[in-house]
Amino acid sequence: MTRYVLILSFLVWGLATSQSVLAHHSEVAEYDPEKPVKVTGTISKVEWQNPHVWFYVDVKDEQGKVTTWGFSTAPPGALLRRGVTKDALKIGAVVNVQGSRARDGSSNASGRSVTFADGRNVLMAGEDAR
């Protein structure tokens, strides 16, 4: 885990304060901004569908146990207008993801920022996120 964090030097907090920018549901009801999540792992699955793109990241802890995290993000249309296509989330890519954890305590979160090993950051929501 620590190794991955060292590899991925770009950690972006772009959306830390904009909780409901991307949701067709109340994020404040679903996700707890007081419980930020930062994980690093491998993309194992992508659901490029409405109303929200979901992607899944396999995260290995120091004992080698793998936990799959599910991240919800913007609708496909909002991502496309930001220049983010389905190809940006490649299965097998190592990513660092930041978000807010689900209130139900499950391994799912609202994904706010995805940083690839080369430092590219996608899924940020700036003005064009709209």
Partner 1 sequence: MNSKWMVSACLAAGVMLAATTALHSQDGPRTPDGKPDFSGIYTAPSTVNAKGPRGNLIFNADKMAPVKPGAESLLYEPRTGDARHDEPRAVCMPSGFPSGMLYILPIQIVQNSKYIVIIPELQRAARIIPLDGRPHREGIEPTYYGDSVGRWEGDTLVIDTINFKRWILDDYHYTDRTKSRWHSDALHTTEHLRREGNKLQYRITIDDPKIFTRPFSQDFELTLRPDWDKLGLLEYVCEENNRCSGGNCKADPQ
Residues that bind partner 1 (CB under 8 A): 18-31, 44-45, 47, 49-52, 54, 56, 68-70, 72, 75-78, 80-81, 102, 104, 106-108, 127, 129-130
Q: In b/e form, how buried is each residue of 76-113, taking b as 16+ CB within 10 angstroms?
A: bebbeebebeeebbeeeeebbbbbbbbeeeebbbbbbb
Residue 23 amino acid letter: A
Nearer to partner 1, 9 or 45 (CB): 45
Q: How far is the CB of 46 from partner 1 (least distance, A)?
A: 11
Nearer to partner 1, 53 or 122 (CB): 53
